[in-house]
Amino acid sequence: MATGERIDGVRSPRALVWERRRAAAGAHWAAFRHNRQGTVGLGILTLFVAVAVAGPMFIDQASMEPATADGPLLAAPSLAYPLGTDNFGRSMLSLMVQGARISLLVGFTAAMGTMLIGASVGITAGYFGGTRVDTVLNGVTNWFLVLPWIALAIALTAVIGPTLVNVIVVIAITSWASTARVVRSQALSVKERPFIERSRALGAGHRHLITRHVLPNVFPILFANAVLMIALAILSETTLSILGLGPADAISWGRIIDDSFSAGALSAGWWWWLIPPGLAIMSVTLSFTMVGFALDEVLSPRLRSR
Protein backbone atom coordinates (compact mmCIF):
# COMPACT_ATOMS: atom_id res chain seq x y z
CA MET A 1 0.00 0.00 0.00
CA ALA A 2 2.12 2.83 -1.24
CA THR A 3 -0.66 5.35 -1.36
CA GLY A 4 -1.17 6.65 2.14
CA GLU A 5 -1.84 4.92 5.44
CA ARG A 6 -5.23 3.63 6.45
CA ILE A 7 -6.88 6.03 8.80
CA ASP A 8 -6.82 3.65 11.77
CA GLY A 9 -3.09 3.18 11.19
CA VAL A 10 -2.41 6.74 12.28
CA ARG A 11 -0.65 6.62 15.60
CA SER A 12 -0.58 9.14 18.37
CA PRO A 13 2.73 10.78 19.28
CA ARG A 14 2.66 8.85 22.54
CA ALA A 15 2.38 5.53 20.73
CA LEU A 16 5.29 6.56 18.52
CA VAL A 17 7.38 7.40 21.55
CA TRP A 18 6.65 4.05 23.15
CA GLU A 19 7.41 2.25 19.92
CA ARG A 20 10.77 3.99 19.76
CA ARG A 21 11.47 3.12 23.39
CA ARG A 22 10.53 -0.52 22.84
CA ALA A 23 12.85 -0.69 19.88
CA ALA A 24 15.70 0.82 21.91
CA ALA A 25 15.07 -1.59 24.78
CA GLY A 26 15.06 -4.47 22.30
CA ALA A 27 18.41 -3.37 20.85
CA HIS A 28 19.91 -3.02 24.33
CA TRP A 29 18.61 -6.43 25.31
CA ALA A 30 20.18 -7.94 22.20
CA ALA A 31 23.51 -6.34 23.12
CA PHE A 32 23.15 -7.46 26.73
CA ARG A 33 22.51 -11.05 25.69
CA HIS A 34 25.90 -11.17 24.03
CA ASN A 35 27.60 -10.05 27.23
CA ARG A 36 28.55 -13.26 29.03
CA GLN A 37 29.25 -11.54 32.32
CA GLY A 38 25.79 -10.00 32.30
CA THR A 39 23.85 -13.12 31.31
CA VAL A 40 25.60 -15.31 33.89
CA GLY A 41 24.81 -12.73 36.57
CA LEU A 42 21.21 -12.44 35.45
CA GLY A 43 20.82 -16.24 35.48
CA ILE A 44 22.06 -16.53 39.08
CA LEU A 45 19.84 -13.65 40.15
CA THR A 46 16.75 -15.19 38.55
CA LEU A 47 17.43 -18.32 40.58
CA PHE A 48 17.74 -16.39 43.84
CA VAL A 49 14.65 -14.29 43.16
CA ALA A 50 12.63 -17.44 42.36
CA VAL A 51 13.74 -19.00 45.66
CA ALA A 52 12.94 -15.80 47.56
CA VAL A 53 9.46 -15.53 46.02
CA ALA A 54 8.34 -19.15 45.99
CA GLY A 55 10.56 -20.77 48.65
CA PRO A 56 8.88 -19.52 51.86
CA MET A 57 5.56 -21.05 50.70
CA PHE A 58 7.06 -24.50 51.28
CA ILE A 59 8.24 -23.70 54.77
CA ASP A 60 6.17 -24.49 57.84
CA GLN A 61 6.20 -21.16 59.72
CA ALA A 62 5.95 -22.93 63.09
CA SER A 63 9.36 -24.50 62.46
CA MET A 64 10.79 -20.97 62.02
CA GLU A 65 9.70 -19.71 65.46
CA PRO A 66 12.37 -20.21 68.14
CA ALA A 67 9.69 -21.42 70.55
CA THR A 68 8.11 -24.03 68.30
CA ALA A 69 11.08 -25.20 66.21
CA ASP A 70 11.44 -28.94 66.71
CA GLY A 71 14.73 -29.90 65.04
CA PRO A 72 17.84 -31.05 66.91
CA LEU A 73 19.94 -28.16 68.27
CA LEU A 74 23.07 -27.20 66.34
CA ALA A 75 23.12 -30.36 64.27
CA ALA A 76 25.70 -30.63 61.50
CA PRO A 77 24.35 -31.11 57.95
CA SER A 78 22.53 -34.40 57.45
CA LEU A 79 19.95 -35.85 55.05
CA ALA A 80 17.04 -34.52 57.10
CA TYR A 81 18.68 -31.10 57.50
CA PRO A 82 20.89 -30.53 54.43
CA LEU A 83 22.46 -27.37 55.90
CA GLY A 84 22.21 -28.36 59.56
CA THR A 85 20.32 -26.47 62.26
CA ASP A 86 20.87 -23.42 64.45
CA ASN A 87 20.76 -23.03 68.23
CA PHE A 88 16.94 -23.09 68.28
CA GLY A 89 16.74 -26.23 66.18
CA ARG A 90 15.62 -24.39 63.04
CA SER A 91 16.60 -25.84 59.68
CA MET A 92 19.38 -23.70 58.21
CA LEU A 93 18.07 -24.37 54.71
CA SER A 94 14.67 -22.88 55.61
CA LEU A 95 16.37 -19.94 57.36
CA MET A 96 18.42 -19.28 54.24
CA VAL A 97 15.29 -19.30 52.06
CA GLN A 98 13.54 -16.88 54.44
CA GLY A 99 16.69 -14.78 54.54
CA ALA A 100 16.77 -14.60 50.74
CA ARG A 101 13.38 -12.89 50.81
CA ILE A 102 14.42 -10.30 53.41
CA SER A 103 17.89 -9.61 52.00
CA LEU A 104 16.60 -9.16 48.45
CA LEU A 105 13.72 -7.03 49.75
CA VAL A 106 16.21 -4.78 51.55
CA GLY A 107 18.36 -4.64 48.43
CA PHE A 108 15.55 -3.74 46.04
CA THR A 109 13.66 -1.27 48.22
CA ALA A 110 16.74 0.47 49.59
CA ALA A 111 18.09 0.83 46.05
CA MET A 112 14.74 2.18 44.92
CA GLY A 113 14.81 4.76 47.69
CA THR A 114 18.39 5.63 46.77
CA MET A 115 17.35 6.11 43.14
CA LEU A 116 14.34 8.21 44.07
CA ILE A 117 16.36 10.64 46.19
CA GLY A 118 19.46 10.53 44.01
CA ALA A 119 17.58 10.97 40.73
CA SER A 120 15.38 13.81 42.00
CA VAL A 121 18.30 15.73 43.46
CA GLY A 122 20.62 14.96 40.53
CA ILE A 123 18.17 15.81 37.75
CA THR A 124 16.99 19.00 39.45
CA ALA A 125 20.55 20.12 40.14
CA GLY A 126 21.69 19.27 36.62
CA TYR A 127 18.69 20.80 34.88
CA PHE A 128 19.09 24.04 36.81
CA GLY A 129 22.89 23.76 36.44
CA GLY A 130 24.76 26.93 37.32
CA THR A 131 21.85 28.50 39.19
CA ARG A 132 21.41 28.86 42.94
CA VAL A 133 19.26 25.71 43.05
CA ASP A 134 22.20 23.75 41.68
CA THR A 135 24.65 25.32 44.13
CA VAL A 136 22.50 24.36 47.13
CA LEU A 137 21.65 20.84 45.96
CA ASN A 138 25.22 20.17 44.86
CA GLY A 139 26.48 21.40 48.21
CA VAL A 140 24.18 19.02 50.09
CA THR A 141 25.23 16.17 47.79
CA ASN A 142 28.89 16.88 48.47
CA TRP A 143 28.26 16.91 52.21
CA PHE A 144 26.66 13.49 52.05
CA LEU A 145 29.45 12.20 49.81
CA VAL A 146 32.06 13.25 52.33
CA LEU A 147 30.34 11.94 55.47
CA PRO A 148 31.49 8.38 56.19
CA TRP A 149 28.34 6.38 55.43
CA ILE A 150 28.94 3.82 58.15
CA ALA A 151 29.23 6.40 60.92
CA LEU A 152 26.09 8.14 59.69
CA ALA A 153 24.23 4.85 59.33
CA ILE A 154 25.24 3.70 62.80
CA ALA A 155 24.22 6.99 64.39
CA LEU A 156 20.87 7.07 62.54
CA THR A 157 19.96 3.44 63.17
CA ALA A 158 20.95 3.66 66.83
CA VAL A 159 18.68 6.68 67.27
CA ILE A 160 15.62 5.55 65.31
CA GLY A 161 15.89 1.85 66.21
CA PRO A 162 16.88 -1.17 64.08
CA THR A 163 13.68 -2.33 62.39
CA LEU A 164 13.42 -3.63 58.82
CA VAL A 165 11.83 -0.41 57.54
CA ASN A 166 14.32 1.80 59.39
CA VAL A 167 17.30 -0.16 58.06
CA ILE A 168 16.00 0.31 54.50
CA VAL A 169 15.43 4.03 55.07
CA VAL A 170 18.88 4.48 56.62
CA ILE A 171 20.60 2.73 53.70
CA ALA A 172 18.73 4.93 51.20
CA ILE A 173 19.56 8.11 53.13
CA THR A 174 23.25 7.24 53.39
CA SER A 175 23.84 6.14 49.80
CA TRP A 176 21.94 8.47 47.44
CA ALA A 177 24.73 11.03 47.03
CA SER A 178 26.87 9.12 44.54
CA THR A 179 23.78 8.48 42.37
CA ALA A 180 22.90 12.18 42.50
CA ARG A 181 26.41 13.08 41.35
CA VAL A 182 26.33 10.68 38.38
CA VAL A 183 22.83 11.78 37.37
CA ARG A 184 23.64 15.48 37.73
CA SER A 185 26.60 15.33 35.38
CA GLN A 186 24.53 13.44 32.81
CA ALA A 187 21.62 15.91 33.15
CA LEU A 188 24.06 18.80 32.75
CA SER A 189 25.16 17.47 29.37
CA VAL A 190 21.64 16.51 28.22
CA LYS A 191 20.20 19.96 28.85
CA GLU A 192 22.71 21.53 26.47
CA ARG A 193 21.56 19.41 23.52
CA PRO A 194 19.67 21.12 20.68
CA PHE A 195 16.37 19.25 21.10
CA ILE A 196 15.92 20.78 24.54
CA GLU A 197 16.22 24.24 23.05
CA ARG A 198 13.80 23.34 20.25
CA SER A 199 11.31 22.03 22.76
CA ARG A 200 11.69 25.16 24.85
CA ALA A 201 11.14 27.31 21.76
CA LEU A 202 7.89 25.40 21.20
CA GLY A 203 6.78 26.53 24.66
CA ALA A 204 7.70 23.60 26.88
CA GLY A 205 7.92 24.38 30.61
CA HIS A 206 10.44 23.09 33.15
CA ARG A 207 8.20 20.23 34.17
CA HIS A 208 7.68 18.99 30.62
CA LEU A 209 11.37 19.34 29.79
CA ILE A 210 12.47 17.47 32.91
CA THR A 211 10.00 14.60 32.73
CA ARG A 212 9.83 14.19 28.94
CA HIS A 213 13.33 15.02 27.79
CA VAL A 214 15.90 15.00 30.57
CA LEU A 215 14.60 12.01 32.54
CA PRO A 216 14.36 9.59 29.57
CA ASN A 217 17.91 10.52 28.55
CA VAL A 218 19.27 10.07 32.06
CA PHE A 219 17.34 6.85 32.58
CA PRO A 220 19.85 4.34 31.11
CA ILE A 221 22.61 5.55 33.42
CA LEU A 222 20.17 5.57 36.33
CA PHE A 223 19.17 2.00 35.59
CA ALA A 224 22.74 0.67 35.52
CA ASN A 225 23.46 2.61 38.70
CA ALA A 226 20.37 1.15 40.40
CA VAL A 227 21.54 -2.41 39.79
CA LEU A 228 24.95 -1.64 41.34
CA MET A 229 23.16 0.05 44.25
CA ILE A 230 21.19 -3.12 45.02
CA ALA A 231 24.49 -4.92 45.54
CA LEU A 232 25.76 -2.12 47.74
CA ALA A 233 22.53 -2.07 49.77
CA ILE A 234 22.75 -5.81 50.49
CA LEU A 235 26.38 -5.38 51.60
CA SER A 236 25.40 -2.39 53.75
CA GLU A 237 22.63 -4.37 55.44
CA THR A 238 25.16 -7.13 56.19
CA THR A 239 27.58 -4.64 57.72
CA LEU A 240 24.87 -3.12 59.89
CA SER A 241 23.71 -6.59 60.94
CA ILE A 242 27.20 -7.69 61.96
CA LEU A 243 27.42 -4.56 64.12
CA GLY A 244 24.15 -5.57 65.81
CA LEU A 245 22.07 -2.98 63.94
CA GLY A 246 20.36 -5.36 61.51
CA PRO A 247 16.56 -5.59 61.31
CA ALA A 248 15.46 -6.90 64.72
CA ASP A 249 12.06 -7.90 63.35
CA ALA A 250 13.14 -9.99 60.35
CA ILE A 251 15.76 -12.61 59.53
CA SER A 252 18.10 -11.51 56.76
CA TRP A 253 21.28 -13.27 55.68
CA GLY A 254 23.20 -10.62 57.57
CA ARG A 255 21.23 -11.36 60.73
CA ILE A 256 22.04 -15.09 60.39
CA ILE A 257 25.77 -14.24 60.24
CA ASP A 258 25.42 -12.00 63.29
CA ASP A 259 23.39 -14.59 65.22
CA SER A 260 25.96 -17.30 64.56
CA PHE A 261 28.83 -14.99 65.51
CA SER A 262 27.11 -13.87 68.73
CA ALA A 263 26.32 -17.46 69.66
CA GLY A 264 30.02 -18.35 69.39
CA ALA A 265 29.96 -20.29 66.12
CA LEU A 266 33.63 -19.41 65.54
CA SER A 267 35.08 -20.98 68.67
CA ALA A 268 32.62 -23.89 68.64
CA GLY A 269 33.24 -24.63 64.96
CA TRP A 270 29.59 -24.51 63.81
CA TRP A 271 30.70 -23.76 60.24
CA TRP A 272 27.34 -24.69 58.65
CA TRP A 273 25.72 -21.79 60.47
CA LEU A 274 28.26 -19.18 59.40
CA ILE A 275 29.28 -20.13 55.86
CA PRO A 276 25.98 -20.37 53.84
CA PRO A 277 24.65 -16.84 54.51
CA GLY A 278 27.99 -15.27 53.57
CA LEU A 279 28.24 -17.34 50.39
CA ALA A 280 24.68 -16.33 49.46
CA ILE A 281 25.42 -12.63 50.02
CA MET A 282 28.61 -12.96 47.99
CA SER A 283 26.91 -14.67 45.02
CA VAL A 284 24.01 -12.23 44.92
CA THR A 285 26.26 -9.17 45.26
CA LEU A 286 28.65 -10.48 42.63
CA SER A 287 25.75 -11.20 40.24
CA PHE A 288 24.25 -7.74 40.67
CA THR A 289 27.67 -6.19 40.16
CA MET A 290 28.26 -8.22 36.99
CA VAL A 291 24.83 -7.31 35.60
CA GLY A 292 25.44 -3.66 36.56
CA PHE A 293 28.82 -3.55 34.79
CA ALA A 294 27.32 -5.27 31.74
CA LEU A 295 24.45 -2.75 31.65
CA ASP A 296 26.94 0.08 31.96
CA GLU A 297 28.76 -1.27 28.92
CA VAL A 298 25.56 -1.77 26.91
CA LEU A 299 23.86 1.49 27.86
CA SER A 300 26.74 3.94 27.74
CA PRO A 301 28.06 4.42 24.21
CA ARG A 302 31.40 5.75 25.43
CA LEU A 303 32.27 2.37 26.97
CA ARG A 304 30.81 0.36 24.12
CA SER A 305 33.08 1.90 21.52
CA ARG A 306 36.22 0.92 23.41
Task: Tell me which residues in 122-161 interact with other proteins (CB under 8 A).
Answer: 139, 142-143, 145-152, 154-156, 158-160
202 lies in the site for other proteins, by CB under 8 A = no
Do the Cβ atoms of 270 and 184 come closer than 8 Å?
no
Among 119, 224, 227, 257, binds other proteins (CB under 8 A): 257
Among 59, 75, 76, 242, binds other proteins (CB under 8 A): 242
Do the Cβ atoms of 130 and 200 come closer than 8 Å?
no
Q: Please, how many CA atoms are within 13 Å of residue 189, restricted to the half-sphere of its CB?
A: 8
55 lies in the site for other proteins, by CB under 8 A = no
What does the chain come to in residues?
306
238 lies in the site for other proteins, by CB under 8 A = yes
Give the integer Cα–Cα distance in Å for 142 and 74: 48
What are the residues whose beta carbons fall under 8 Å from the beta carbon of 303, sequence distance 6 or more?
296, 297
266 lies in the site for other proteins, by CB under 8 A = yes
Question: Closer CB to other proteins, residue 82 or residue 269?
Answer: 269
Give the integer Cα–Cα distance in Å for 194 and 13: 20
Q: Based on the number of CB atoms within 10 Å of its own CB, is 185 exposed (0-12), middle (13-18) or buried (19 or more)?
A: middle
Cβ at position 115, least distance to other proteins in Å:
20
Question: Closer CB to other proteins, residue 44 or residue 59?
Answer: 44
Give the integer Cα–Cα distance in Å for 255 and 207: 43
290 lies in the site for other proteins, by CB under 8 A = yes
286 lies in the site for other proteins, by CB under 8 A = yes
Q: In a 3-state reduction of DSSP, which class is residue 224?
A: helix
Do the Cβ atoms of 132 and 195 come closer than 8 Å?
no
Question: Closer CB to other proteins, residue 97 or residue 154?
Answer: 154
Radius of gyration of the chain (CA): 24
261 lies in the site for other proteins, by CB under 8 A = yes
Cβ at position 151, least distance to other proteins in Å:
5
Among 49, 74, 263, 275, binds other proteins (CB under 8 A): 275
Among 186, 254, 291, 294, binds other proteins (CB under 8 A): 254
Which phi and psi angles does 257 have, rounded to 5°? -60, -45
Binding site for other proteins (CB under 8 A): 139, 142-143, 145-152, 154-156, 158-160, 231, 235, 238-239, 242-245, 254, 257, 261, 265-267, 269, 271, 274-275, 277-278, 281-283, 285-286, 289-290, 293, 306
